[in-house]
């Protein structure tokens, strides 16, 4: 056995082979973790009684709400093959988000809200008046769960044509395809349907709250030294230039005085700042303190 192999075995600290590894589809994103999903589920469930009451106020119908599941989805594949959707499109900050509902159930619910006799209905295109009713009803669903997920939804539009669904890329630079899928079951009498919300920007964990920090630093920690890092812009070089580097070579960076940067300590983003100079030395001016865990690499 080679030295490297013995080192690996020593680090692993086991003499028998590991058990079977569960299969995973790496096409589906996973960044929240089971514990975080359970926490989000609990927060959503706590809001459902108040949301049921709100839906009854705006629609005149009594719906029972239950959480049908939480999962992570790739927005690239959400609407594959969609033909005649009944989808509420909205935004969370600048990122697109969606709520999808069975078109036939959407028609039945809107007709009942407008005074028609309750019963099954066939999927069809909603009229302008019905679109307003559907938007009001579904936007209340989104607003009702938003506090649990720390999102701010806005710009609600009901989409009935697949070409108007849009794409996650409309979030602009830095947009991500990752979405949290929240499924809510709506039960009204004998009718049961599920709406699915696809939401961006749901954090992997709660932000560090200021009130959770101690009022004073314990005395035994006052002299502990930590490394404060400022992230500067990098530069691009070709592979042959990289291999040709020698001691004494100068590599110019793209960073300029006045450019934004972040300060981090021990894996936490501490502040947002700008590059500058002080007494002839490169320095940063802190513009905003913001303690937030670093995103996973």
pLDDT digits (tens, 9 = 90+) for 109-161: 999 999 887 667 788 899 999 999 999 999 999 999 999 898 999 999 999 98
Average pLDDT of the residues in 17-24: 50
Phi, psi for residue 79 in degrees, rounded to 5: -115, 25
- Least confident stretch, 4-18, 68-82, 154-168, 198-212: 4-18
Average pLDDT of the residues in 55-76: 93
Euclidean distance between the first and the last CA atom of the chain, given in angstroms as a whole number: 33
Average pLDDT of the residues in 3-31: 54
Average pLDDT of the residues in 28-42: 82
Average pLDDT of the residues in 165-182: 91
Dihedral sign for Cα atoms in the order 89, 38, 206, 261: negative
Average pLDDT of the residues in 66-85: 84
Q: In angstroms, rounded to a whole number, what is the distance separating the alpha carbons of residues 157 and 140? A: 13
- Band (98; pLDDT cuts 50, 70, 90): very high
Tell whether the model's pLDDT for residue 206 goes beyond 70. Answer: no
pLDDT at 7: 55
Note whether 263 and 292 are within 8 A (CB).
no
Q: In angstroms, rounded to a whole number, what is the distance separating the alpha carbons of residues 43 and 16? A: 42
pTM of the model: 0.61
Beta strands in 121-219 (DSSP E): 153-159, 178-188, 191-199
Query: Which of 253, 264, 197, 195 lies closest to 227 in space, CA to CA?
Result: 264
pLDDT at 209: 41
- Band (19; pLDDT cuts 50, 70, 90): low
Note whether 40 and 202 are within 8 A (CB).
yes
pLDDT at 207: 43
pLDDT at 9: 56
Query: Which of 257, 255, 252 lies closest to 275 in space, CA to CA?
Result: 257
Q: Of 23-32, 74-83, 159-168, 229-238, which one has max mean pLDDT?
A: 159-168
Q: Of 72-76, 134-138, 204-208, 270-274, which one has max mean pLDDT?
A: 134-138
- Band (204; pLDDT cuts 50, 70, 90): low
- Band (88; pLDDT cuts 50, 70, 90): very high
pLDDT at 292: 54
Tell whether the model's pLDDT for residue 70 goes beyond 60. Answer: yes
Where b means 16+ CB within 10 Å and e means fewer, 123-142 reads eeebeeebbebbbebbbbbb
- Least confident stretch, 52-56, 122-126, 144-148, 221-225: 221-225
Beta strands in 160-297 (DSSP E): 178-188, 191-199, 228-230, 260-265, 268-278, 281-293
Domains of the chain in start order, with CATH, are 34-199 (3.40.1550.10), 207-215+224-232+254-297 (no CATH)
* Number of Cβ within a 10 Å radius of residue 247: 4
Query: CB-hemisphere CA count at 13 Å for 138?
Result: 33
């Amino acid at each position: 056995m080679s030295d490297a192999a013995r080192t690996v075995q020593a680090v692993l600290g086991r003499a028998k082979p590991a058990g079977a590894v569960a299969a995973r589809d790496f096409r589906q994103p996973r960044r929240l973790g089971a514990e975080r999903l359970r926490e989000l589920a609990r927060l959503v469930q706590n809001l459902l009684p108040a949301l049921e009451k709100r839906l009854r106020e705006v629609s005149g119908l009594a719906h029972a709400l239950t959480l049908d599941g939480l999962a992570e989805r790739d927005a690239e594949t959400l609407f594959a093959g969609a033909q005649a959707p009944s989808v509420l499109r909205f935004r969370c900050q600048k990122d697109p988000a969606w709520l999808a509902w069975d078109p036939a159930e959407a028609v039945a619910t809107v007709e009942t809200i407008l005074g028609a006799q309750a019963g099954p209905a066939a999927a069809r295109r909603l009229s302008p008046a019905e679109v307003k009713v559907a938007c009001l009803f579904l936007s209340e669903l989104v607003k009702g769960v938003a506090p649990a997920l720390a999102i701010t939804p806005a710009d609600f539009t009901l989409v009935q044509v697949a070409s108007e669904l849009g794409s996650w890329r409309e979030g602009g630079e830095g947009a991500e395809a990752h979405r949290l899928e929240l499924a809510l079951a709506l039960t009204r009498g004998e009718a049961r349907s599920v709406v699915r919300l696809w939401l961006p920007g749901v954090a992997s964990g709660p932000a560090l709250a200021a009130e959770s920090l101690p009022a004073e630093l314990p005395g035994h920690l006052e002299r502990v030294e930590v490394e404060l890092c400022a992230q500067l812009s990098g530069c691009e070089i070709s592979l042959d230039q990289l291999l040709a580097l020698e001691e004494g070579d100068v590599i110019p960076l793209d960073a300029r005085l006045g450019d934004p940067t972040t300060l981090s300590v021990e894996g936490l983003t501490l502040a947002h700042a700008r590059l500058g100079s002080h007494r002839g030395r490169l320095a940063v001016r802190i513009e905003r303190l913001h303690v937030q865990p670093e995103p996973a690499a």
